[in-house]
Structure 1
Amino acid sequence: MDAHRLMLCIWLWLVCASVQCLPRVRLSSRQQIEGETRITIDFYIDDSVDATEQQVKDYLRTVIFTTTEDLQSYFVVDDIHLPYWIKYIGTEPGLEAALEGNKNTDYIYLDGAVDVLTAHFIDQNPPDIICLVTNYTIHNGDNIRKAYGYSKDHTLCKSVVSMLLAYAPDTAGYAGRMLSEMI
């Protein structure tokens, strides 16, 4: 079985296992419209992303649109909303310093970066998902090569879920599809 089929099987298993959990996504003092499922996301833009603020906004708007459409189509509901905020890693000096040890010239250490994100926000009032948008290649040297995203967390209901998302402005739809698969 090739890596794509294995990844699809694992993803389907995770979705089936956690489908009961999705409608009860924790809201932590946010108001919710009755019947609406909200999954909040903070995007942190890494210093490797060489783009204007408007280019980043346009990219993430497309990513969120694709992700929302995929989730609504998969779960056959219209009430999934993904409110998101865009922040730059320079606004979190502690996070920026902690991530430096997980970067080299071309790649970012996937598990290390996800662990740093989770540890940095665990004691705060985080959104449902913390996503580091990076221009580093998402590659683990084995079965993940030039991926659009990565996460090792599996459940939105327990705590904050940390993810990496590649900044790929020419293929924002693929990145959006990857984000929906990770959710």
Structure 2
Amino acid sequence: MTVAPLAVLFDRDGTLIIDVPYCADPRRVCPMPAAVPALRMLRAAGVRIGVVTNQSGIGRGLITAEQAAAVNAEVVRLLGPFDTFRVCPHAPDEGCACRKPRPGMVLDAAAELGVPPARTAVIGDIGADVEAAAAAGAAAVMVPTAVTRPEEIRRAPVVRRTLVEAVEHLLGPR
């Protein structure tokens, strides 16, 4: 991205918060170490921020929509408000348009924010996040974790070690 994005969308699990598979308990929500300062930087720069998260546990019957909403509310409580919060509740085999790596949530979030996808960036920890961004015409930055596969890292257009480094990359020189 040659110009700073007008909106940055974050994956939730493994990106903004420590990944607890199929988390149904808000008490288990723990922000990633650089989440607070990264979000603070974007807010200070006037960049709109949002979350785009696959929550297949709902579609698989492992957690309820209410439990997922309670976890999301805790994310907001700990990390501050987001301009949009998109959730795909579908199981992988449902063929929905919103589940990453499909672009549905990215496109919907950008439209809600009134920002063209080309001026939107997605930050995530796995290939599906990067692929959803590319499919939507948005920029992508991968911040790998221990579960990110090496081939996903190799395919990512931009890789940074922390959320702060990812945001610094997107905002460019100040």
Q: TM-score, normalised by structure 1?
A: 0.35
Q: TM-score, normalised by structure 2?
A: 0.36
Higher-Rg structure is 1
